[in-house]
Amino acid sequence: MSTGVSDHVMTFLNDYLGHLGRWLIRWKVQVNSDKCQSVYFTWRRSTPNPPKLYRRSIPWKDETKYLGVTLDKRLTYKTHVAEVKNKVTAVNKKLYYVMGKNSKLSLKNKLLLYKTLCGPL
């Protein structure tokens, strides 16, 4: 991607955000632009100027969470995998005492516990 293409994308994005801002005002929808995040997905080190909503810059972030998945600017998923791994490790440690070798729980109850606690992960 050359700089010209990057500038073209940013021009298009800022134009769209201008239209979006007018639409939000027309329909009386309030958006806190201070809470907005933008991520520029690229392998390059430099990023263009940040986009603007209501004449306020939306700062670039290195990562953001979308639908429970942590996306970093290079789309490597390292952060997301580390978070899920930590959750699974924590649940396994908690379950070990309840479902370990010497547990008196029935297999049916162990399976129910496992599905209840590990299913959402």
Q: Give per-residue pLDDT as tens, 44-99.
A: 888 888 999 988 999 999 999 999 999 999 999 999 999 999 998 998 888 888 88
H or E element in which residue 15 lies: helix 3-26
Instruction: Indicate left, alpha or beta for 81 from its phi (over 0: left) and psi (-120 to 50: alpha).
Output: alpha
Q: How does the average pLDDT of the chain come out, rounded?
A: 88
Do 10 and 53 fall within a single domain?
A: yes
Domain presence at residue 31 = yes
| Residues across the chain | 121
Please classify residue 114 by burial: count the beta carbons closer than 10 Å to its beta carbon, then call 0-12 exposed, 13-18 middle and 19+ buried. Answer: middle
Instruction: Evaluate if residue 115 carries a pLDDT over 80.
Output: yes
51 is in which domain, residue-wise?
3-61
Q: Which of 28, 61, 94 is the last residue of a domain?
A: 61
Domain presence at residue 73 = no
What pLDDT is recorded for position 1? Answer: 45
Identify the sign of the CA torsion 48, 54, 55, 59.
negative
Most confident of 6-15, 20-29, 34-43: 20-29
Tell me the pLDDT tens digit for each residue of 83-94. Answer: 999 998 998 888
Contacts of residue 72, Cβ cutoff 8 Å, sequence gap at least 6? 39, 62, 63, 78, 79
Place of tokens 């924590």: 90
Tokens at residue 32, please?
A: 């806190």
Domain presence at residue 84 = yes
Q: Which of 36, 61, 86 is the last residue of a domain?
A: 61
Tell whether pTM > 0.75.
no
Instruction: Evaluate if residue 4 carries a pLDDT over 80.
Output: no
